[in-house]
Structure 1
Amino acid sequence: MLSRQDQLDALRAVLEEQFQRQTEELTELTVYSGDPERNGYDPHEIATRIATTRQTLAETTQALQRMAEGTYGRCEECQADIPVERLEIRPQARYCVACQRVRSA
């Protein structure tokens, strides 16, 4: 069984891959938005996808920043460790499930 640190290191690789993919997608969508033909995309769809990609990219960047600071995997509200299983599903998670529920209510 891998240690928590080994699991978090594996998640770093996932986040770095997501960062690269999201950056490429944002670049591609930005090019499409300036193209009169838009590669077949509706202008509203492109704008929505750009906004979504920017938000996801920001969340990924913040997660990588937390890793660099040594705070990744700890709930920003209660300071408890966020279970690795949650981080595997949502690597950008900032809160444990209990705190996220309170924030979403």
Structure 2
Amino acid sequence: MTPALHATAPLPAEPLELLRTMLEDDFAAQTARLTQLTVYARLPRRAGYDVHTLNGQAADARQRIADTARALRRMSEGTYGRCEACHRPIPLGRLRNAPHATRCTLCDRDR
């Protein structure tokens, strides 16, 4: 692992606000999805869904809600965008693709 691969500056305010908006939108969408799946699960025919499919999709929605909530908390604490393993900045491109990421690509790969 070379230092040049981790040479990224802290996140500027504008991309950080865009990432916050992305996270908030995803939180709202996943919460709505979980609500919808919960309603489907209570219907007599589960809206055509198999029980295992509903349970799996609900678990996925819960996980995304939890990941997004943790990312938003890290933003409020000022630790968002820092790798939890090496403590260096996570590249902006990685955060755009996975705004809930807690590790840089190199540390995630080594994990």
TM-score category of the 2 structures, normalised to the smaller one? over 0.9
Gaps of 5+ in 2: 1-10
Instruction: Name segments (4+ residues, structure 1) moved above 3 Å.
Output: none
Which of 15, 23, 27 matches 1:7?
15
What corresponds to 2:97 in structure 1?
89
Contact in 2 for aligned 1:82/1:95 (Cα 8 Å): yes
- The amino acid across from 2:40 in the alignment is Y
Q: What's the TM-score once normalised by structure 2's chain length? A: 0.87
Give the number of aligned pairs. 101
The structure showing larger relative contact order (alpha-carbon pairs under 8 Å, at least 6 residues apart) is 2
Letter in 1 for 2:52: H
Percent of aligned pairs with the same amino acid: 48
| Root-mean-square deviation over aligned CA pairs | 1.0
Alignment map for 1:11-90 (pairs within 5 Å) = 11-90=19-98
Which blocks of at least 5 consecutive residues in structure 1 are unaligned? none
Partner residue in 1 for 2:108 = 100
TM-score normalised to the size of structure 1? 0.92
